[in-house]
Amino acid sequence: MTAVDLEAKSLLKRFGSHVAVDSLSFAVTRGSFFSILGPSGCGKTTLLRMIAGFIGPDSGDIEIGGRSMQGVPPNRRPVNMVFQQLALFPMMSVGENVAYGLARRGVGRAEREAKVAAMLERVGLPGAAGKRTDELSGGQRQRVAIARSLVLEPTLLLLDEPLGALDLKLRERMKIELKQLQAAFGTTFVYITHDQSEALVLSDQVAVMNAGRFEQVGSPQALYYSPATPFVAGFVGANNRIEGRVSALHGALADVTTPEGWVVRAQIQAAPDGRRPSVGDAATAFVRPEVAVLGRTAADLDRPTIAPGDEAAPVHEGVVESLLFDGANSAVLLREARSRAEFRVALPQTGRYADLKVDERVLFTFAPERAVCFATGGGGTGGGHG
Amino acid sequence: MAEVGSKTTRLLLLGLLLAPALVWLVGVILLPHLDLALLSFRERIGPGEFSWSLAQYRTFFAEPLYWDVFVRTAVISVIATGLTLLIAFPIAWTIAKLTRGRVSALLFAVCLIPFWVSETVRTLGWMILLRETGVLPAVLVSLGITDTPVEMLYRDATILVGLVYTSLLFMVVPLYSSLESLDDSLIEAAYDLGGSGWTVLRTVVIPHAAPGITAGCIVVFMLTLGNYLTASLLGGKNSLWFTEQIYTQFITRFNWEQGAAFGFLLLALSSLMVWLGLRLSGQKFADVMSRT
Ligand SMILES: Nc1ncnc2c1ncn2[C@@H]1O[C@H](COP(=O)(O)OP(=O)(O)OP(=O)(O)O)[C@@H](O)[C@H]1O
Ligand SMILES: [Mg+2]
């Protein structure tokens, strides 16, 4: 099997009566880009600070590179951290910042300077060693912060929302740079974010965290296309959320009927404990805006089939509430005719339907196997709208 | 209608606003010092007859007593400043970094307590503790550490204790404000990159706090050097302080010329030390003053 660089074993951290990190266990494979995605206050920073060693867990253990970190202080752990506000030393030059860790290890001056120059070159800042940190742009400071950590060749690089302080344009660019840096260095990255697009774009594996626990750990595709819990379905990507009760089962599909009688057919997702919904159970269905297709008439509609040999997908009716123009992400917000529930449908890239008018009546449909539904009865958890 | 923005009006307004400060600067500081400067370069050659001379300054260098006291005052002031820094740093660190809210306020209040009573009463308190028949010598005897009560007053060390005690707050405040502004994540980053407690202090904390440290040291040094009451009461006749010499010349001997010369020597000493301190710590005067 592939080597594991970080392993958490039932990590638990309490602040007073509040459980910030709730018996977490997970493993991160060597050389991968692992993201922890979750809403504000779910315990991400607490988890990262436990890995870095700034706070000790109440119970459980952390192994880095196969070695238990119990009682190992932050300055002796083979991990380095990139702080949210970067924490570059303002009293030192860029070169001194990058050389800081090497100097602490007793690396000689000449070797230090050579390594710093090489590292700055690799992060695209050749010759910047003599500059002051406040002479750099936001993106350059970001790269210095990463260089300062990577020059120590850590087993693990921890990043706590490092792009949070940057403006949108720069964030987009740094996202790509981060991914390229990680690929070039092959260092294992553990990356914290509350921005689902960052997590999806960058990561090999994403853990969706909620209230101190991981709801799901998987590839970005797995999280997006087969969310394991309603929280993940609601948090990762945009999703239409339809609540009701299971009215019929068709093999792997279920009909979820809202109190107003709108029937939505979707793929059944088993709960983490293996429970599957049966007829009469409370259930929530999620339909992605880009899964649904629009039509002005039934003939217009490219109706997907449910399964080979089965009848075509059900057609729904709605009224245009508003048009949400956002370039390639443009969508139309409908009100479903029967339930008056909001439903978002992505507009095709061809520009078709760009002429839709508010209050116009339209039809829409989607392949049920590309929508998901969960039994939400009993201890079901709710999630925010992504 | 008068033009509000006209140059003369504005100058007049500025003059009015600055008037109290100017009166204070010229009347209370500049004039007396000019007069003292003139005084210090005079020599009495007969009743009511004076001539220009450097005699006052010559006496200072010729008379070992004056010179000794001058040097002792300088050395003890430097030591007191250093000790105050060493003691105040952990206190300021605790208030700025380790405690929050009420506890911080309480610790500040504790530093402030010495100033609730007058300097005289405070110093007399030390005398009650330290004199031969006082509390501390009695405790030492009862613990069997000394056979007979020892006189703890009138020593250099006694002055030192008193001076550090009075100066503490003036060091804690600038240190606190410079440590407070140090971002915790810088300390964590330094630690994370492999720094130990000592190297983090040396490479990150002290460089950041340098203006505050320099400001505190300058204030404490000046206060200590110019201190009269604590030094004379705790030092007594054995451990003389230079301000006492000035006092003696002016009040007891009525030799104003000599007193004025001494005063200027003290001023020169404190200016020199401040300049040296700034040079050694590589700080800018304006930078430091904005921290006091
Ligand atoms: N030192 C502390 N003392 C008490 N409670 C704390 C402490 N640190 C964090 N918490 C609490 O623990 C919970 C998790 O905090 P944490 O900082 O890990 O959240 P986060 O996921 O990083 O959030 P964000 O995205 O806003 O940074 C929060 O409810 C927070 O109030
Ligand atoms: Mg956080």
- Alpha helices of A217-327 — where are they, by DSSP H? 220-225, 230-235
Chain A CB contacts of B207 under 8 Å are 91
Query: What's the pLDDT score for residue A386?
Result: 34
Query: What's the pLDDT score for residue B79?
Result: 96
> Is B107 within a domain?
yes
- Alpha helices of chain B — where are they, by DSSP H? 7-23, 31-40, 55-62, 64-93, 101-112, 119-130, 135-142, 156-180, 184-192, 197-200, 206-225, 229-235, 242-247, 256-281, 285-289
> Is B13 within a domain?
no
Q: In this predicted structure, which of A229-238, A289-298, A305-314, B53-62 has the lowest mean pLDDT?
A: A305-314
Query: What's the pLDDT score for residue A307?
Result: 60
> Is B231 within a domain?
yes
- A286 touches A385 (CB < 8 A): no
Query: What's the pLDDT score for residue A216?
Result: 94
Closest by CA position to A51, among listed A4, A107, A11, A94: A11
Query: What's the pLDDT score for residue A38?
Result: 94
Tally of domains within chain B: 1
Neighbours of B143 (CB within 10 A): 8
> Is B3 within a domain?
no
Average pLDDT for residues A282-291, to the nearest whole number?
Answer: 93
CB of A44 sitting under 6 A from ligand 1 = yes
Distance CA A30, CA A28 (A): 7
Query: What's the pLDDT score for residue A107?
Result: 94
**Residue of minimum CA distance from atom 26 in ligand 1:** A40
Structure tokens at B131: 């004199």
CB of A348 sitting under 6 A from ligand 1 = no
Query: What's the pLDDT score for residue B178?
Result: 94
> Is B39 within a domain?
no
Q: Report the residue count for chain B.
A: 292
Domain of residue B221: give its range.
52-289
Average pLDDT for residues A223-232, to the nearest whole number?
Answer: 92
Query: What's the pLDDT score for residue B233?
Result: 86
- Give the helix/strand (H/E) hosting A64: strand A59-64
> Is B67 within a domain?
yes
**Residue B24: is it exposed, middle or buried by C-beta count within 10 angstroms (0-12/13-18/19+)?**
exposed
Give tens-digit pLDDT for A337-354.
Answer: 989 999 999 998 887 888
Q: Which residues pair with A36 in a beta bridge?
A: A192, A207
Average pLDDT for residues A363-376, to the nearest whole number?
Answer: 91
Query: What's the pLDDT score for residue B283?
Result: 77
Q: In this predicted structure, which of A35-44, A185-194, B118-127, B163-172 has the lowest mean pLDDT?
A: B118-127
> Is B15 within a domain?
no
Q: In this predicted structure, which of A167-176, A375-384, B195-204 has the lowest mean pLDDT?
A: A375-384
| Portion of chain A with pLDDT greater than 90, in percent | 69
| Portion of chain A with pLDDT greater than 70, in percent | 95
Helix (H/G/I), strand (E/B), else coil: A342: strand
Query: What's the pLDDT score for residue B73?
Result: 93
Structure tokens at A294: 């629009």
Beta-carbon-side half-sphere exposure of residue B101 (alpha carbons within 13 Å): 1
CATH number (domain holding residue B80): 1.10.3720.10
Query: What's the pLDDT score for residue A385?
Result: 38
Give tens-digit pLDDT for A299-319.
Answer: 888 777 666 556 778 899 999
CB of A13 sitting under 6 A from ligand 1 = no
Contact B190 A74 (CB under 8 A): no
Chain B CB contacts of A153 under 8 Å are none
Query: What's the pLDDT score for residue B147?
Result: 87
Distance CA A311, CA A305 (A): 6
Distance CA A332, CA A352 (A): 12
> Is B42 within a domain?
no
pLDDT band at A382 (very low <50, low <70, confident <90, very high): very low
pLDDT exceeds 60 at position A381: no
CB of A97 sitting under 6 A from ligand 1 = no
Cross-chain CB nearest to A52 (options B190, B192, B196): B192
State the best of B182, B187, B193 to mutate against chain A, taking most chain A CBs within 10 Å: B193
State the best of B178, B185, B187, B192 to mutate against chain A, taking most chain A CBs within 10 Å: B192
Q: In this predicted structure, which of A43-52, A176-185, A296-305, B1-10 has the lowest mean pLDDT?
A: B1-10
Query: What's the pLDDT score for residue B55?
Result: 87
pLDDT exceeds 60 at position A380: no
Q: What's the gap in Å between A159 CA and the centre of ligand 2?
A: 11
Query: What's the pLDDT score for residue B42?
Result: 87
Q: What's the gap in Å between A40 CA and the centre of ligand 2?
A: 7
Which residue carries 């339909």 as its tokens? A287
Domains detected in chain A:
4-228 (3.40.50.300), 231-297+307-375 (2.40.50.140)
**Residue of minimum CA distance from atom 7 in ligand 1:** A15
Query: What's the pLDDT score for residue B116?
Result: 85
Distance CA A293, CA A305 (A): 13
Question: CB-based contacts of A366: which residues, under 8 Å, 6+ apart?
Answer: A287, A291, A292, A293, A304, A313
Give tens-digit pLDDT for A79-137.
Answer: 999 998 899 999 999 999 999 999 999 999 999 999 999 999 988 899 899 999 999 99
CB of A43 sitting under 6 A from ligand 1 = yes
Query: What's the pLDDT score for residue A308?
Result: 56
Q: What is the pLDDT along chain B (292 residues), one digit of tens a residue?
A: 445 567 888 888 888 898 888 888 888 888 888 888 888 888 888 888 888 888 888 988 998 989 999 999 999 999 999 999 999 999 999 999 998 889 988 988 888 887 888 888 888 888 888 888 888 888 988 998 888 888 888 888 889 999 999 999 999 999 999 999 999 999 999 999 999 999 999 999 999 999 999 999 999 999 999 999 888 888 888 788 999 989 988 888 888 889 999 999 999 999 998 898 888 888 777 777 776 6
Instruction: Tell me, yes or no, if B282 comes closer than 8 A to chain A by beta carbon.
Output: no
Mutate to test the pocket of ligand 1, among A17, A40, A42 (most ligand atoms within 8 A of CB): A42
How many CB pairs lie under 8 A apart between chains A and B?
57
CB of A45 sitting under 6 A from ligand 1 = yes
